[in-house]
Amino acid sequence: MKKIFKQIATIALSVTLITVFTNCEATKNVNNKQKGAVIGATSGALLGAILGNNIGKGGNGALGAIIGGVVGGGAGVLIGNKMDKQAQQIENEIPGAQVERIDDNIVITFDENSGVYFDTAKFYINPASQTTLDKLSGVLVEYGDTNILIIGHTDSVGNDANNMKLSKNRAMSVNNYFNNKGISSNRLTTNWYGEQSPVGDNATAEGRKKNRRVNIVIVPNEKMEQDAVNESNGN
C-alpha cells in the first residue's frame, strides 16, 4: 500500500517503525494477514496519524465506537481476505488514492494530489473529484457489507471556527454524494476536525494542499462479521 506522510510527534517512533516494515520491498505487497504481526502493536498509533491527532476532539465525537475492534481467529482471516480484496480493487480503480489497510479497516486519503480535492475555503465537489468518487462509489456498492466513515479536514487559512465548519461541510458533501450514488445513509457516518490535524506544512502551498483533504474509512459491518463467524464455524 502507498505511504502516507506522518508528522505527529507523540507517536513518531511508532509511525516510523510501521513505515519501515510496511513499505520495504519485502513487505510492500503482502496482504493484511501477513502484515498483522508487524502492524498489530502500533496500529492504533498509525490509525491516529492518518485520521488526525485529535481523534475524539472534533466533529461527532470519539471514533473508537464507530471503527470497533479487531475480529480474531478464522473469522478475522476471512474478514481480512475480503478487506484486502476491496482495498486492492480501490487501488486498481483509483491509482492516485492513498490506501492503507489498518487492522480490519481500509483507510483512504484524498487530497489535491490524489483525486478528490477542495479549493481554498470551498466544500463543493468539483468535476474532477466527481470522477474519482464515482469510481469509489462503484466499489462501495459492490461491497455492501461495510460501513463508511468520512472525515473532513482543512488547512490553517482562516479562523478555527470557520475551518471547523468548513471541514464539516466537506465531509457532508462527500456523504451526500455517496448517498446520491445509491449508498444507504445507514452505512455513512461523518466526522470533522477543522485545521486540528495537519499532515502537511501549513507554511507552504504544497502542505496546505495536503491538508485540504478527506479521509474515508471503510469498516466491516455486523453482517460481515457474523457471516465470517458462521463460515469459520462451519455453519
Boundaries of domain holding 20: 9-232
Beta strands 146-152; 188-192: pairing state = parallel
Among the listed residues 105, 107, 99, 117, the one whose alpha carbon sits nearest the alpha carbon of residue 173: 117
Whether residue 217 lies inside any domain: the answer is: yes
Whether residue 222 lies inside any domain: the answer is: yes
Whether residue 1 lies inside any domain: the answer is: no
Among the listed residues 54, 48, 56, the one whose alpha carbon sits nearest the alpha carbon of residue 6: 48
Give the CATH number, domain containing residue 23: 3.30.1330.60
Whether residue 173 lies inside any domain: the answer is: yes
d(CA 106, CA 151): 13
E-strand ranges in the chain read 98-102, 105-110, 146-152, 188-192, 214-220
What integer pLDDT is reported at residue 126 of this predicted model?
87
Which pLDDT tens digits describe the chain residue by residue (235 residues)?
443 333 333 333 333 333 333 343 322 333 443 333 333 334 556 666 666 655 555 665 555 556 666 677 888 899 999 999 999 999 999 988 889 888 888 999 887 777 788 888 889 998 888 999 999 999 999 999 999 999 999 999 999 999 999 999 999 999 999 999 999 999 999 989 899 888 889 999 999 988 898 889 999 988 998 888 888 887 5
What integer pLDDT is reported at residue 95 of this predicted model?
85
Contact (Cβ atoms closer than 8 angstroms) between residue 214 and residue 167: no
Q: How many domains does the chain have?
A: 1
Q: Grid cell 461491497 — which residue?
A: 143
What integer pLDDT is reported at residue 35 of this predicted model?
38
- For the entire predicted model, the pTM comes to 0.77
One-letter amino acid at 136 equals L
What integer pLDDT is reported at residue 66 of this predicted model?
61
Whether residue 3 lies inside any domain: the answer is: no
Whether residue 132 lies inside any domain: the answer is: yes
Cell, residue 135: 469510481
Residues 16, 18, 20, 23, CA torsion sign: negative
Beta strands 214-220; 105-110: pairing state = antiparallel
Whether residue 87 lies inside any domain: the answer is: yes
What integer pLDDT is reported at residue 164 of this predicted model?
94
**Can you name the residues that pair with 150 across neighbouring β-strands?**
190, 216
DSSP assignment of 33-94 equals HHHHHHHGGGHHHHHHHHH-TTTTSSTTS-SHHHH-----HHHHHHHHHHHHHHHHHHHHH-
Whether residue 43 lies inside any domain: the answer is: yes
What integer pLDDT is reported at residue 154 of this predicted model?
93
One-letter amino acid at 105 equals N
